[in-house]
Homo-oligomer: A and B are copies of this chain.
Amino acid sequence: MIRTDLAVEAREMRGRGVAGVESRSEEKEGVTVTTVEITSPEGAEKMGKPMGVYVTIETGDLAEAEARKAASDALARELGLMMEGKDCGHVLVVGLGNDRMTPDSIGVNTARQIFVTRHLKEYMPEEFGSARTVSSVAPGVLGTTGIETGESVAGIAQRIGPTLIIAVDALASRSIARIGRTIQLTDTGISPGSGVGNSRKELSRATLGIPVLAVGIPMVADAATVADDAIGMVIKEMKDGAGDGAVKLLQGLEDNDRYALIYEALEPNAANMFVTPKDVDAIADRAAEILRDGINYALHGEKYQIFY
């Protein structure tokens, strides 16, 4: 199955007209907000994603300060809406990924810039007594810790007792045009890779016992996806001039079959390769800044201006 962390992309590929998958889009202050809702197990299976709400914020060119401001404002607003009705007394922000790899660093870099208050409320109760309790952790990746993220987070959560978790991560998109330009927010938690149903990997209400919101920005596409796109486009270009059998055959392949073919062709290396933009360092800096501002504002409101 073609890999994408974005529900809007999964719907484009697989979810149109499927029962149990609803989608609506609206323009809010220069930003496009699309909500995909997966409401039935059938929808979840078709989409390859758990049931829940997926909000996508699409912005203009984040190289411009104004677009970044609009993006972080929209994130604060949508995150605030998703927090409504939940016990947000103690929010633990979890920064996923590896800060030594540029495209995978945004979770950790966001988490370390969250304005944490849990310790301040205890040590400086007069100044911070009325602030929301916020803590933050960046558990590191399996390859350097030997510990699944879900295990670390479960252990820490059991100890410090948060009422809500916000997990922040770099995502993979199908389209290279969405890299660094889309924010996804969901109430389903995070199930990295093949991790759905694997309680050691998963960060979700099922595994942690409290609601888990997840926020991310796509920073990479997988190599096989890019190859697949290329083939699709080449076929399209060739079609007019050479509409014979083999092209029809290629066209006739289900998307997933063609992807599988490519994926196998690229093995053993493809699974461990990703595609990323040449200026990913600047894009990652901006992404972490937007996530930091959006989350801090959602958690602390106007006071964030003073704190930070």
> CB within 8 Å of B: which residues of A?
63-66, 98, 100-102, 112, 116-120, 133-140, 142-148, 151-152, 154-160, 176-177, 223-224, 226-231, 233-234, 237-238, 242, 244-250, 258, 261-262, 265-266, 269, 272-281, 305-308
Residues of B within 8 A of A116 (CB): 143-146
Q: In the complex, A116 Cα to B135 Cα: how many Å?
A: 27
Instruction: With both chains docked as a complex, state the minimum distance between the C-beta of A131 and any C-beta of chain B, in angstroms.
Output: 11
Q: In the complex, A267 Cα to B258 Cα: how many Å?
A: 21
Q: Which residue of B lies closest to A136 (CB)?
A: B145
Q: Which residue of B lies closest to A115 (CB)?
A: B146
Instruction: With both chains docked as a complex, state the minimum distance between the C-beta of A120 and any C-beta of chain B, in angstroms.
Output: 8
CB within 8 Å for A230 and B100 given contacts A136-B145, A144-B112, A274-B278: no
Residues of B within 8 A of A140 (CB): 112, 137-138
Residues of B within 8 A of A119 (CB): 142-143, 146-148
Are A266 and B64 within 8 A (Cβ)? no
Residue from B139, B142, B269 in contact with A176 in the complex, judged by beta carbons closer than 8 Å: B269
Are B242 and A305 within 8 A (Cβ)? no
Q: In the complex, A227 Cα to B275 Cα: how many Å?
A: 11
Q: In the complex, A65 Cα to B279 Cα: how many Å?
A: 28
Instruction: Please name 6 pairs of A and B residues whose Cβ atoms are closer than 8 Å in the assembled complex, sorted by A.
Output: A136-B147, A152-B159, A158-B158, A223-B226, A224-B230, A245-B245
Q: In the complex, A265 Cα to B234 Cα: how many Å?
A: 6
Are B146 and A156 within 8 A (Cβ)? no
Scoring A116, A155, A158, A177 by chain B CB atoms within 10 A of each residue's CB, the highest score goes to A155
Are A152 and B146 within 8 A (Cβ)? no
Residues of B within 8 A of A144 (CB): 112, 116, 136
Are A137 and B135 within 8 A (Cβ)? no
Instruction: With both chains docked as a complex, state the minimum distance between the C-beta of A153 and any C-beta of chain B, in angstroms.
Output: 9
Residues of B within 8 A of A278 (CB): 101, 272-274
CB within 8 Å for A262 and B156 given contacts A102-B102, A273-B276: no
Q: Which residue of B lies closest to A68 (CB)?
A: B308
Q: Which 6 residue pairs of A and B lie closest in terms of their CB atoms, listed nearest first?
A: A116-B146, A118-B146, A246-B246, A155-B159, A227-B230, A233-B265
Q: In the complex, A176 Cα to B134 Cα: how many Å?
A: 31
Q: Which residue of B lies closest to A159 (CB)?
A: B155
Q: In the complex, A177 Cα to B273 Cα: how many Å?
A: 11
Residues of B within 8 A of A269 (CB): 176-177, 277
Residues of B within 8 A of A224 (CB): 230
Are A101 and B159 within 8 A (Cβ)? no
Residues of B within 8 A of A273 (CB): 176, 226, 275-278
Residues of B within 8 A of A155 (CB): 155-160
Residue from B228, B242, B246 in contact with A242 in the complex, judged by beta carbons closer than 8 Å: B246
Residues of B within 8 A of A265 (CB): 230, 233-234, 237
